[in-house]
Amino acid sequence: MKILMLTPYLPYPLLSGGQIRTYNLLKKLAHKHEITLFALIKNENEKQYIAELEKYCRKVRVFKRSEEPFTLKNVFRAVFSSYPFLVTRNHVPETIAAIKAELALEKYDLIHAETFYMMPHLPENNIPTILAEQTIEYLGYESYVKKTNKLIAPLLAIDVQKIKHWERHYWQLCDKLIVMSQEDKQFISQQINNEKKIEVVANGVDSAWFDGEKRKLPPVPTVLSVGTFKWLPNVEAVDFLVKKVWPHLQQLVPTAKLLIVGNAPTKKVKHYGEVDKNITVLGRIPDIRTAFKQAHVLVAPVFSGKGTRYKILEAMASGTPVVASKIAVEGLDVKLGIHLLASNSAKTMAELVAKLLNNEKLWKKLSVNGRQFVQQNFDWQSISEKLDMIYKTLGKKGEIYDKKS
């Protein structure tokens, strides 16, 4: 089948969950389908990675959006448009013309759009369209508005309502909606009253790749925090960890060190490492495996947003025990105390981390069980096979439509 895939990022290098997901699916599906990739980039330097993606794509085209999100043009367009800021900052008008020309040039069986805010780039067409929602965007922004400055909250709330409107609109418009978990499916089906059009294709992990790095635990207890800081829930998680969990943990385990890793750390996140000698902020690192393999435990106090958490799966694949909030493990079907530990209380979370650091038997149990769980349930091969089945089913419907029209 010939598939046109649209992404709001170039799926390489692997700096975010979205990039990891798309790259691995492209690798697994390349030998079954002819995939043309249209992707947005933020700067010209990203073009150096096109060659890596051409190994798996028949054709790769990129379109430049603004490097910085909060430009006057983007803000102005959002204020005076029915579209939210999330759409206007990712909207590249020339992409619409390019897609239109591509569809006129070649016959495609399917269009696959990653994230709802790529959908406005599609010109009118009769090709079956899949929308993959890696998270439910408006929920994450709603949570942020509740915690933000009261003076600007009303303005942000208007923009969130726009996100909610357009996200629901494209859920309805697409032919098939792909989500990351059963919980996301249930939530969205209540919104659009059409459960049959929604399929769960979870995120996955390349377990063999994580096995390629040996564990090298440091002599001091090391707590790890991971997540790209362009996603608000990750920033909120680090704030909660440093301000509420960390003080309790320092009392329980005075020798503990905190390592914060993730792409594009904010000034606030960097400041945590400047004022506390026991906190190190590395930001982006060349190989995420080194962080997981050199940490005793991953702590993930995520309290907003939806979707599968890559940090949880990658930690488990690495054999690194996890302590998380309950929402952070929602949809993974894990068993608490068997695969990982979870609590929404900062004090209890600190106590669970201390318990892991001081109980070698429990540490080994979660390390082994977590790794086996990911291998059995979140391998990219089985996940890509499910997406392949959706492609084939929807592609057949498209053939029937073509014969009738």
Q: What is the pLDDT of residue 303?
A: 87
For the domain that residue 32 is a member of, what is the CATH number? 3.40.50.2000
Q: What is the pLDDT of residue 249?
A: 98
CB neighbourhood size of 94 (10 A): 10
Considering only CA atoms, which of 190, 187, 181, 234 is closest in space to residue 378? Answer: 181
Q: What is the pLDDT of residue 398?
A: 59
Q: What is the pLDDT of residue 166?
A: 97
Considering only CA atoms, which of 371, 252, 241, 249 is closest in space to residue 301? Answer: 241
Q: Are residues 276 and 337 in the same domain?
A: yes
Domain span at 362: 207-377
> pLDDT in tens for each of the 405 residues of the chain?
999 999 999 999 988 889 999 999 999 999 999 999 999 999 999 999 999 999 999 999 999 998 888 888 888 888 899 999 999 999 999 999 999 999 999 999 999 999 999 999 999 999 999 999 998 999 888 877 887 877 888 888 999 999 999 999 999 999 999 999 888 999 999 999 999 999 999 989 988 889 999 999 999 999 999 988 877 888 899 999 999 999 999 999 999 999 999 988 999 999 999 999 999 999 888 899 999 999 999 999 998 766 557 899 999 999 999 999 998 998 788 999 999 999 999 999 999 999 999 999 999 999 999 999 999 999 898 899 999 999 999 987 655 445 444
Q: Are residues 159 and 11 in the same domain?
A: yes
Q: Are residues 45 and 109 in the same domain?
A: yes
Of the chain, the end-to-end C-alpha distance in Å amounts to 20
- 279's enclosing H/E stretch is strand 279-283
Q: Are residues 193 and 278 in the same domain?
A: no
Q: What is the pLDDT of residue 405?
A: 45
Q: Are residues 136 and 19 in the same domain?
A: yes
Q: What is the pLDDT of residue 143?
A: 78
Q: Give the integer Cα–Cα distance in Å for 107 and 157.
A: 42
Q: Are residues 254 and 349 in the same domain?
A: yes
Domain count of the fold of the chain: 2
pTM: 0.83
For 264, the token pair is 């594009």
Q: Are residues 142 and 154 in the same domain?
A: yes
